[in-house]
Amino acid sequence: MIITEILARNSRIYKNEIALIERSPSEHLRREITWNEFYISANRFANALSAAGIRKGDKVVQLMTNCLDWLPIYFGILSTGALAVPLNFRFESDKILLCTEVAEAKVFIFGEEFIERLAGIRTILEATVHTWVFTGDPKQCPGYATPYHIFVQNSFGQFSNSYGTLEDTSDVASLDVEINIEDDAALYFTSGTTGTPKAVLLTHRNLEHACYVENNHHGQRHNDVFLCIPPLYHTGAKMHWMGSFIVGGKAVILKGVKPDWILEAVSDEKVTIVWLLVPWAHDILIAIESNKVALADYELEQWRLLHIGAQPVPPSLIKEWKEYFPNHDYDTNYGLTESTGPGCVHLGIENDHKVGAIGVPGFDWECRVVDGSGNNLPAGESGELIVRGPGVMKEYYKNPEATRKTIINGWLYTGDIARFDKDGFIWLVDRKKDVIICGGENIFPVEIEHFFMQHPKIQDIAVIGVPDERLGEIPAGIICAKPGMTLTKVEITEFGYGLSRYKRLRKIIFADVPRNATGKIEKPKLRRLYARDNRKDIDKLLR
């Protein structure tokens, strides 16, 4: 079923039930909309886009931070038959320009946070973009754009959004556009953590499958409440939400990641399912350990499931989590933008005895670990993880060469190194591009990172290779201590004796570990800082 049809069904069945809640703790604001209001808002925006000349197959860029209007706008774009193009809100001007030009977008929707970033590139983009829609405070709207409420009002009169008022809640007819399950639906750009972002073309079947795979894995019911914290532009947050969406479950959009804000949202909104990134889970544990939050102050009994994805999960983290939340089911999910987000591999809540593995093939997915020639490797041997299923992207848009290298006979080559164990569980070893070759030995940074995350004073760590004249590369650790704690090189070195000699850190850097909006370590940034092939610079940076 096309996901816009699922929205229409939810509007019919759960008309006046709450669909979405937005919490903005820093502003002490809370807003909500029903399934019927969600559906009406999407239809109003779809009709406004149609009136602005948007047709099936056109592209519409969405550059917004999480808010109550995000999903209605996204569904409004899909309802026209156009392709939604959500952009990473952390992209700087050059990447915004690149992605918009690749998409050849005709409409650009943006919030006030992006006015400055668009200032230097707007005139260039006018070669394709003919309509600019501003979702922020109308008083801040630049002259070249139309405020969101005015854009829709031009087609319908009054409507509801963050800055408009809605007295007229009458139904709005959906557009009469034929959309087939195999039609193109969206362009998602990769995060760029391994280089220039690539445009991933997803179909309506891809989006539909995300609903089914997520619901199959976590058994969302209509009375479950899902807490959405990660950015909606990313496939991860949205596709996890779709498991609740397909059963008309309520979702809470939380603007902010402070531990007390997360716990307050869970308590106040009776949240049952939370998807966290590793740093946020660490922050909650640190806040508990340091008595900055007291679990007794919150109603958390209904919270049944914690799942974590977007990056490797240190087993030590889950062990500690279970000490404070022994009744939580736990799952980890593996996926990538090219597989329509999470779910091609998942641990499964029944397999917490295998914490550390990314799991088994997800619902309706197949997985293999292969050598450089595409041959299956036996259990215990590391090779590239490849996956096949209904979530595999259609292609890298306008990039046939990259598509040919990535999709071979229907199999998606993930670029991740993994291995099967004797029980059929998949263990992620590392990114192919992150492997350090030290004196001819392959060193996998994730393995070292997991080891050091067991240290009681370490909050975060990233391991990269830095140039070495004799060995080619050596492992360097960028380490961030927990708040209020100090670490020395001696402590790190002595703790590292638990590793094989060739895996031990040769350089230690005490600094913050940069992560993107989905929690992934920004290793290209670290390599630019610390792995330049300039010995004097390296010596200054490493201490």
Mean pLDDT score across all residues of the chain = 89
Q: Select the highest-mean-pLDDT range: 65-79, 192-206, 353-367.
A: 65-79
C-alpha torsion 451→452→456→457, nearest 10:
-170
Domain-located, residue 407: no
pLDDT of residue 157 exceeding 60: no
pTM: 0.82
Residue among 216, 181, 211, 186 nearest 201 (CA): 186
Which residue has better confidence, 146 or 415?
146
Q: Give residue 446's domain range.
A: 435-541
- Least confident range of 321-335, 490-504, 517-531: 517-531
DSSP 317-364: HHHHHHHH-TT-EEEEEEEEGGGTEEEEEE--GGGGGGBTB-BEE-TT
- Please name every residue paired with 472 in a beta bridge, in sequence order, or none if there are none: 468
pLDDT value of residue 538: 34
State the amino acid at position 106 in one-letter form: K
Give mean pLDDT, residues 412-432.
Answer: 88
> 533: buried, middle or exposed (CB in 10 Å: 19+, 13-18, 0-12)?
exposed
Residue 10 in any domain: the answer is no
Is residue 476 domain-resident?
yes
State the pLDDT confidence band at 179, using cuts at 50, 70 and 90: very high
Q: What are phi and psi of 223, to 5 degrees?
A: -90, 5
pLDDT at 313: 77
Q: Which of 175, 203, 231 is the last residue of a domain?
A: 203
Structural domain contains residue 354: no
What pLDDT does residue 192 have?
55
Q: How far apart are CA 480 and CA 483, in angstroms?
A: 9
Give CA separation, 496 vs 143, 440, 505, 524, in Å.
58, 21, 7, 24
If one compares 201 and 484, the residue with the highest pLDDT of the two is 201
> Which pLDDT value is given to residue 310?
65
Q: pLDDT per residue over 498-541, tens digit each?
A: 888 878 999 999 999 988 766 678 887 888 888 764 333 333 43
Question: What is the structure's pLDDT at 161?
Answer: 46
The CATH number that applies at residue 39 is 3.40.50.980
Whether residue 216 is contained in a domain is answered as no
Count structural domains, the chain. Answer: 2
User: Does the residue 425 lie in any domain?
Assistant: no
pLDDT score of 99 more than 50: yes
Are the C-beta atoms of residues 348 and 331 closer than 8 Å to each other?
Answer: yes
- Tell whether the model's pLDDT for residue 206 goes beyond 80: yes
**Final residue of a structural domain among 181, 203, 225:** 203
**% of the chain surpassing 70 pLDDT:** 91
Supply the pLDDT for residue 217: 95
Q: How confident is the model over 314-328, as a mean pLDDT?
A: 89
The CA distance from 146 to 161, in Å, is: 14
Confidence of residue 158 (pLDDT cuts 50, 70, 90): very low
- Reported as a single tens digit per residue, the pLDDT across 220-258 is 999 999 999 989 998 888 999 999 999 999 999 999 999
Residue 104 pLDDT level (bands cut at 50, 70, 90)? very high
- pLDDT digit string, tens, across residues 339-381: 998 899 999 999 988 888 999 999 999 999 999 899 999 999 9
Which has more pLDDT, 532 or 117? Answer: 117
Which of 27-36, 132-141, 279-288, 297-306 is least confident? 279-288
Q: What is the CATH number of the domain that holds 521?
A: 3.30.300.30
What distances in angstroms separate CA 57 from CA 233, 318, 360, one per listed residue? 20, 44, 36
Q: Looking at the domain assignment, is residue 350 inside a domain?
A: no
Last residue of a domain, one of 203, 233, 254: 203
Q: Is the pLDDT of residue 162 over 80?
A: no
Give the chain's largest Cα–Cα span: 73
15 vs 467, higher pLDDT:
15
Q: Is 143 inside a domain boundary?
A: yes
Q: What is the pLDDT of residue 533?
A: 42
